[in-house]
Structure 1
Amino acid sequence: MQNLVIVDIGSNSSRMSIYQISEDGYCEEIKRCKSDSRLSEGMGKDKVLQPVAINRTINSLKSFKQTYSSMKNVTVMTIATAAVRQAANQKAFIRKVRKKVGLNIRVLSGRQEAYYDYLGVVNKIKMNDYMIMDIGGASIELVRVQGKKRRDLISVPVGAVNISERFNLNNHVPAASLFSAQRFLKDVFHRVPWLKKADHYQLVVLGGAARTLARINQNHQRFRNNDTLNGYHLNQHRVLSTFEYLLRNDLKHRKQIRGLESERADIILGGLLPLITVIDELDSRRIVFSEGGVREGLINEYIRKHYKNY
């Protein structure tokens, strides 16, 4: 029995998943941890990781290590995404993590992140044609899937944290700020040359903002099976209504909304606005939630490579 640990250093949160893999390649997730380390906070236009955010992240990684260090037959895979990918002080951060925690970081390119999203989703979603949209803290990955095959993919360097900071979407949002953010995002997505090929496609959404959107609505619907999000779906009207509801509340009142983690209340508008923009661009009528993503894509690839009989 092998224990595979995947540590994912994201822009808004750091996550750890531990999988037990049997000799025949059967895989089961036995532990999952998350820390709101918000590594991308305050990076600004110069894209510099800030000392406070770095220390928060390293403390999170040390906490994760305490969980898996006593386990036997452990393989640790550490990845980093948009915040580290974009950082001007990327190398210094990687050295510090290696020195303080003993982890060797693999920095995924935007295309790699989108590809692993696809690998993590394709076997979990029973649809043929759809668009995957992964909304992270500092980037958004889009994958157009047709006939279950990836046809186009891209990563754009905007996400929940940097949109919220740039357009002051954290608390009460003035109409001018919202309009500026919408114009900016429309311009970003208009530069994706193949986007209109996905007109009317259903959207499969990933990331913290997407999970929050689902949890808010599950609480509203008194959804009984809210342990899983995979396959849960909302129509366009419900998504737009939820965004409007969040927009009408200031930060203090958003923190009191059931299903919305208080730590995410200041970036939820910046996290959902890209989804609202893409829904409008593609006229997507159905939004489907998936628990697959980068970590699941990595584990699928790992099993295929190391367990030939699987």
Structure 2
Amino acid sequence: MAIIDMGSNSVKMVCYSAHRTGTYRPYHRESFRVRLDEYNDGVIREPLINRLIDVLLLFRNIATHEDVDKILPVATSALRSAHNQKSVLSRIYDKTGFKVNVLSGNSEALYSYAGAADHLNIPSCMFFDLGGGSIELVSSRNHTIIKALSVPLGALVLTRKFAGKDDFNNETIHNLRQYVRENLPSTNSMGLLGNDASLVGVGGALRTVAKYVQAHVGYPLKKLHNYSMSASSINAAASDILSKDVSDLAGIYEIGRGRADIIKAGIVTISEILSKYNFEKVHVCSTGLREGVL
């Protein structure tokens, strides 16, 4: 089985060998940056549609080569909010034969949480999935979901809103922080979690920050799953990242060209989540939406 995840920043495919016992093993991964949410007016332009279809055709060929018997394509924020969603989906079906399941914000949150919860034994938590177009939030108590929602605070959307085609400066960073803080749901609206609750996160921005922190603290393992980062280490990384130009960030191995322009919005959002919900650290999970869809 293969899961194709069409996000705002990138399109990914993971092939799994699934078993009737409910277990599975990923054995092939592909990812291409497409940036479906590139424009402000909510319309996915022709060049991006063509690029998306080219990537999907490539994924279909790879899946055939890997003897995949079933492909499940899902789409999230970019297609969910696109004004020309129906025409894009029609084009995709005509060219690839894929019937894409466009997830609601609530469904995306629940799938992401399910994919993470299966791999981390944390009964009570605040969970977030920070993507390019939105952030999904789920609160749970003793493995019971209290609240699940999606908020348009993705790293790509925030970068476009506050920096545009330029880099961030002190003023736009200040405005970004204030905007994220004001638009994250209140603690009360997410439910009372208790002192034993943990913060768990997934998503490309969080993984990038984790790699950056690991490199700077000399972490000996190349492992992200269940790696925990303190608020102080994230804030220190934020100060360092926010002081650098995009061109400098692109040259840093842990960040690279693919995330150099949006990592500032990403790390500010992560920092504000820790601050607003009063957590001292965050646990990184390497599984999420795609595993939840399985």
TM range (shorter): over 0.9
The answer to whether structure 1 residue 145 and structure 2 residue 132 are counterparts is no
Q: Judge conservation of contact 1:170–1:251 (CA < 8 Å) in 2.
A: no
Q: Judge conservation of contact 1:8–1:16 (CA < 8 Å) in 2.
A: yes
C-alpha deviations, 1:48-74, integer Å up to 9, x for none?
Answer: 112222222222212211211234461
- Choose from 88, 91, 100 the match for 1:96: 91
Three-state SS of the structure 2 residue aligned to 1:292 is coil
Aligned CA distance change for structure 1 residues 25 and 190 (closer, same or farther; 3 Å): closer
- Residue 286 of structure 1 is matched in structure 2 by 281
- Choose from 203, 209, 226 the match for 2:199: 203
- Residue 230 of structure 1 is matched in structure 2 by 225
Aligned CA distance change for structure 1 residues 24 and 51 (closer, same or farther; 3 Å): same
Q: Report deviation, 1:218.
A: 2.0
Range that drifts further, 165-174 or 76-85: 165-174
- Residue 9 of structure 2 is matched in structure 1 by 12
Range that drifts further, 209-218 or 63-72: 63-72
Three-state SS of the structure 2 residue aligned to 1:35 is strand
Gapped runs of 5+ residues in structure 1?
300-310
Amino acid at match of 1:260: I
Distance in 1 between residues matched to 2:280 and 2:136, nearest whole Å: 20
- Residue 38 of structure 2 is matched in structure 1 by 41
For normalisation by structure 2, the TM-score amounts to: 0.93
- Choose from 86, 109, 116 the match for 2:81: 86
The size of the alignment, in residue pairs, is 293
Three-state SS of the structure 1 residue aligned to 2:287 is coil
Three-state SS of the structure 1 residue aligned to 2:119 is coil
Distance in 1 between residues matched to 2:90 and 2:273, nearest whole Å: 38
- Residue 54 of structure 1 is matched in structure 2 by 49
Distance in 2 between residues matched to 1:148 and 1:247, nearest whole Å: 36
Q: Judge conservation of contact 1:219–1:258 (CA < 8 Å) in 2.
A: no
Distance in 2 between residues matched to 1:225 and 1:90, nearest whole Å: 42
Distance in 1 between residues matched to 2:216 and 2:170, nearest whole Å: 27
C-alpha deviations, 1:193-220, integer Å up to 9, x for none?
Answer: 5237357643211111001011112222
Q: Report deviation, 1:125.
A: 1.2
Q: Judge conservation of contact 2:201–2:285 (CA < 8 Å) in 1.
A: yes
The answer to whether structure 1 residue 159 and structure 2 residue 154 are counterparts is yes
Three-state SS of the structure 2 residue aligned to 1:241 is helix
Amino acid at match of 2:15: I
Range that drifts further, 277-286 or 20-29: 20-29
Gapped runs of 5+ residues in structure 2?
none
- Residue 123 of structure 1 is matched in structure 2 by 118
Distance in 1 between residues matched to 2:92 and 2:188, nearest whole Å: 38
Q: Judge conservation of contact 2:249–2:256 (CA < 8 Å) in 1.
A: no
Distance in 2 between residues matched to 1:171 and 1:229, nearest whole Å: 31
C-alpha deviations, 1:17-49, integer Å up to 9, x for none?
Answer: 11112455442111111111111111x1x3111
Three-state SS of the structure 2 residue aligned to 1:69 is helix
Root mean square deviation of aligned Cα: 1.9
For normalisation by structure 1, the TM-score amounts to: 0.89
Three-state SS of the structure 1 residue aligned to 2:149 is strand
Q: Judge conservation of contact 2:250–2:257 (CA < 8 Å) in 1.
A: yes
- Residue 58 of structure 2 is matched in structure 1 by 63
C-alpha deviations, 1:233-283, integer Å up to 9, x for none?
Answer: 111100111111100001111112231121110011112222111111112
The answer to whether structure 1 residue 29 and structure 2 residue 26 are counterparts is yes
